[in-house]
Amino acid sequence: MGRRLSRLGCLATFVSLLTLTIAAPAAAAGYDSTDYVALGDSYSSGVGAPGQSGLCLRSSQGYPGRWAAANKPKSFTNLACSGAETGDVRNLQIPFLSSSAELITITIGGNDAGFASTVIGCQVGTDAACAAKVASARTDIENSIPGKLDATYAAIKRKAPNAEVVVLGYPQLFDTSSASCGIAGMSLAKRRVLNEGARLLNDVIEGRAGAAGFTYSDVEDEFAGHGICASSPYLNGLTVIPPQNSFHPNATGYTRGYLPALNSAL
């Protein structure tokens, strides 16, 4: 019996050492030699989270800052800016992108689709007016935005040809499990049509990112059940102070929504 236990002990030790040996490369494969750059719009600059500063409203509590704090890359630069469209990324961000960048993340396309004006218009207008605004945005999403994304992704590849690029999508803004959304909340019809518009935009972004050879990470699963009007939302509803936080992820949304989506893509 003692010999059997001894043999089992030796076997267990061998398995443990083998496991450590196999796991060692993974543990060593960190990001301490990685140059990381975040590009894009307010969803990458960190609007909606605490600590926003500067004209671009960047916050270290957005998903890029949180990822950098957790993974400690060699360098981290956040070039994302609130309100940015695809042309702004090409003209105002990529010129400052290092050609040696090894990891790039980006959210872009929402402002090209008229995200802010559409949502605000739906907030104050009728169901029919909201549907009309989303239909107008849908035309842009289908006809003009694919080319704008192609040009932007191509510019990133030219400037940093060796970088791994992760393109993140946008969440479904609204929870639609209940007809009620509070006194100032939108009707169920408005919430549904806005979610449909966001889904279409994500489909286009995913397609163009794939065509560019980039990795696309969908955040809809991470935000599922946590839209505006849910009991534990990951997004800010209409916000008076500060107004720019309206319809952007809150701190929890960046931590439990965007950050896990980025980690899964990597």
Reply yes or no on whether 248 is catalytic.
yes
Task: Give DSSP secondary structure letters for 94-144.
Answer: GGGS-TT--EEEEE-STTTTTHHHHHHHHHHS-HHHHHHHHHHHHHHHHHT
Where residue 111 falls (left for φ over 0; alpha for ψ -120 to 50; beta otherwise) is alpha
Catalytic position from the list 59, 144, 248, 264? 248
Reply yes or no on whether 226 is catalytic.
no
Going from the C-alpha of 106 to that of each of 10, 38, 129, 171, 182, the distances in angstroms are 50, 6, 31, 14, 33
Tell me the β-bridge partners of 216. Answer: 167
Q: 146 exposed, middle or buried (CB, 10 Å; 0-12, 13-18, 19+)? A: middle
Catalytic position from the list 6, 16, 42, 180? 42
Instruction: Say if residues 186 and 126 touch (Cβ distance below 8 Å).
Output: no
Instruction: Catalogue the active-site residues.
Output: 42, 248
